[in-house]
Amino acid sequence: MTLPLFAVYGASGYGREVMPLAREQLRHQGISAEQLVFVDDHSEVQMMNGQRVLRYAEFLQAEASARHAVLAIANSAIREKLAARCAENRVLPWTVAAANVVMLDDAVLGEGAVLSPFAMLTSNIRIGRYFHANIYSYVAHDCVIGDFVTFAPGVKCNGNVLIEDHAYIGTGAVIKQGKPGHPLVIGRGAVVGMGAVVTRDVPAGATVVGNPAKPFIKG
Ligand code: UDP
């Protein structure tokens, strides 16, 4: 009998953190770890942390009734490129969430997400495709998050915040809450530096750092 194959795409730092979550998720579904592989376009090794490592072409050639992949690469532009490639080859988007993730009422998550251990999505939240919430990150009530948004570890995103596509929020950043009907907005492709305290809107494409967060000027 031909079985489905599951992949963690990206066999570097984040991929190695996502793999055990993926393995555990499949175990709960009664799916063998033998049906789980790393996929990486550049890896030189054939095994990593007990799992096979395949090139993408090998993954497509492997016998499988269906192929699923979670994109475990923090760079959102790469995620978008790989999502398009997977869609072309009928590789299905796969969401992997740690067993201890907490989601409260009406938290809607798009396809292909990764929710790392201790991530929390509270109530009345909308999140787009291919979101990453790294360890200990939270999204509070009434937030709206676009596609390919990345939270590094320990991001505190308070209520009524709007985050547009491809924004990257660095480790330990704190985002002040907005108001109902008047969210604090982090624009498309903006970067919030690690430890920043964001108290006002961040324009699209801007990088902000510090407390209170201000535009980063290279010096
Ligand atoms: N990668 C890939 N195909 C691509 C781009 C990246 O397979 O088109 C792999 C790359 O070989 C590396 C991983 O994705 O193993 C990205 O690793 P990196 O350390 O840059 O990111 P992180 O794991 O920190 O998100």
3-state helix, strand, coil in the chain (%, to 5): 15, 30, 50
In tens, the pLDDT along 63-94 reads: 999 999 999 999 999 999 999 999 999 999 99
DSSP state of 179: B
The CA distance from 74 to 83, in Å, is 13
For residue 84, count CB atoms less than 10 angstroms from its CB and return exposed for 0-12, middle for 13-18, buried for 19 or more.
Answer: exposed
Describe the strand order of the beta sheet including 184-186 as a list of residue ranges: 107-109, 125-127, 144-145, 161-163, 184-186
Q: What is the token pair recorded at 213?
A: 């967060």
Mutate to test the pocket of ligand 1, among 18, 51, 73 (most ligand atoms within 8 A of CB): 73
Catalytic one of 68, 132, 141, 166: 141
Q: What is the pLDDT of residue 120?
A: 98
The pTM for the full model equals 0.98
How confident is the model at residue 187, as a pLDDT? 98
Tokens, residue 146: 């676009």
Distance CA(75)–CA(52), nearest Å, equals 23
pLDDT tens string 160-203: 999 999 999 999 999 999 999 999 999 999 999 999 999 999 99
Q: Is the pLDDT of residue 42 over 80?
A: yes
Quick one: which H or E segment has residue 168?
strand 168-169
The verdict on whether 141 is a catalytic residue reads yes
Which residue CA neighbors atom 9 of ligand 1 most closely?
Answer: 10
- Please give the number of the atom of ligand 1 that sits closest to the Cα of 82: 8
Residue nearest to atom 11 of ligand 1 (CA): 42
Domains in the chain: ranges and CATH? 5-94 (3.40.50.20), 97-210 (2.160.10.10)
Q: How far apart are CA 49 and CA 16, in angstroms?
A: 8
pLDDT in tens, 95-131: 999 999 999 999 999 999 999 999 999 999 999 999 9
The minimum-distance atom of ligand 1 relative to the CA of 42 is: 11
Q: Which residue type does 105 have?
A: D
Distance 106 CA to ligand 1 centre (A): 33
CB-CB neighbours of 105 under 10 Å: 9
Average pLDDT of every residue of the chain? 98
DSSP lists the bridge partners of residue 163 as 145, 186
Q: Could you tell me which residues are beta bridge partners of residue 161? A: 184
Atom of ligand 1 lying closest to residue 72 CA: 25
> Which residue's CA is the closest to the ligand 1 atom numbered 15?
12
Q: What per-residue confidence (pLDDT) applies to 217?
A: 82
